[in-house]
Amino acid sequence: MKIIVCIKQVPGTNEVKMDPVTNTIMRENVAAIINPFDTYAIEEAVRIKEKLGGEVYGLSMGIPAAAEMLREAVSLRVNKAVLLTDRKFAGADTLATSYALSKGVEKIGGYDLIICGKQATDGDTAQVGPSLAKTLGIAYATDISRILEISRDSMRCMKITDDGYEEIEIRLPALITVVKEINMPRLPSIKTMRIARKTEIETVSLDDVSGDETRAGLKGSPTQVRRTFVPVHEVKSTEIQGTAAEQSQKLAEILLKM
């Protein structure tokens, strides 16, 4: 079984700075972590590998420093890791991100299953998984909370819906996105950390994957962030004086005027 896990590097803080000119996230010098949902995707892939045999690939598109994050993924028992990194990938919206990842998937090749997190904690769109599946032309299912049965040809799983759960069957190769209920990720061990330190992270440019420049990065992004801002919440306060009866009368008058 060859499983590819899409792993995004996200800021490990809520105080993300935006570039005022390009309106893109300033990722340099920000402590970065594996997108929390992707740790569940990694763990599930590793569990399948342990059951059926095979290999788990970690795939990311990001800045060169994301290689360290992929090394951490290796310490979580991913076997090989590929980082798509190139100025030409920069400023990608979800469509261009999916295109870049599809080229990475093609480069890895011969996969049975792709697992993504439900969503990224920074971009938060939950679009990349389904969009990647569409770009690759494979089936997908989102919000998977449990894999009930899996073989080389198909899998049966539980999907969380607004009203409860759905049991679905999906033929492989396919893509799923997973929610945190699916498992409890293991911590790295000393042994896996040692392996991670020695593992080479393959870095790949747009040219290396014969990518189309018009479909990658800012050029390939039909949507662009025009403006980012923190909403201003104004709080006005009025002190109401007088007896309890006067205060409640005044308060009622204020509320009625609202």
Nearest residue relative to ligand FAD (C-beta): 123
Q: Is 8 in the site for ligand FAD (CB under 6 A)?
A: yes
Q: Out of 73, 81, 92, 175, name the contact with ligand FAD by CB under 6 A.
A: 92
Contact (Cβ atoms closer than 8 angstroms) between residue 48 and residue 40: no
Q: Out of 1, 32, 38, 114, name the contact with ligand FAD by CB under 6 A.
A: 38
Site string for ligand FAD, 47-76 (x = CB under 6 A): -------------xxx--------------
Using CB under 6 A as the binding rule, the residues of this chain from 106 to 165 that contact ligand FAD are 116-117, 119-120, 122-129
Number of residues forming the site for ligand FAD (CB under 6 A):
34
> Residue 173, preceding bond cis, omega within 30 degrees?
yes
**Long-range contacts formed by 157-161: CB under 8 A, 24+ apart:** none
In angstroms, give the least distance from the CB of 246 to ligand FAD: 52
Sheet with strand 154-160: strands edge to edge: 165-171, 154-160, 139-150, 174-178, 113-117, 2-6, 55-61, 80-84, 202-204
What does the alpha-carbon distance between residue 97 and residue 25 come to, in Å, rounded to a whole number?
14
Q: Is 78 in the site for ligand FAD (CB under 6 A)?
A: no
In angstroms, give the least distance from the CB of 5 to ligand FAD: 7
What does the alpha-carbon distance between residue 197 and residue 34 come to, in Å, rounded to a whole number?
17
Q: Is 223 in the site for ligand FAD (CB under 6 A)?
A: yes
Using CB under 6 A as the binding rule, the residues of this chain from 96 to 115 that contact ligand FAD are 97, 101
In angstroms, give the least distance from the CB of 194 to ligand FAD: 25
In angstroms, give the least distance from the CB of 68 to ligand FAD: 14
- Going by C-alpha positions, the residue among 37, 58, 40 that lies closest to residue 204 is 58
Closer residue to ligand FAD in complex, CB, 14/243: 14
Alpha carbon 120 to chain centroid, angstroms: 4
Residue type, 50: E
First to last CA, the chain: 63
Per CB under 6 A, residues contacting ligand FAD are 6-8, 24-25, 35, 37-38, 41, 60-62, 91-94, 97, 101, 116-117, 119-120, 122-129, 221, 223-225
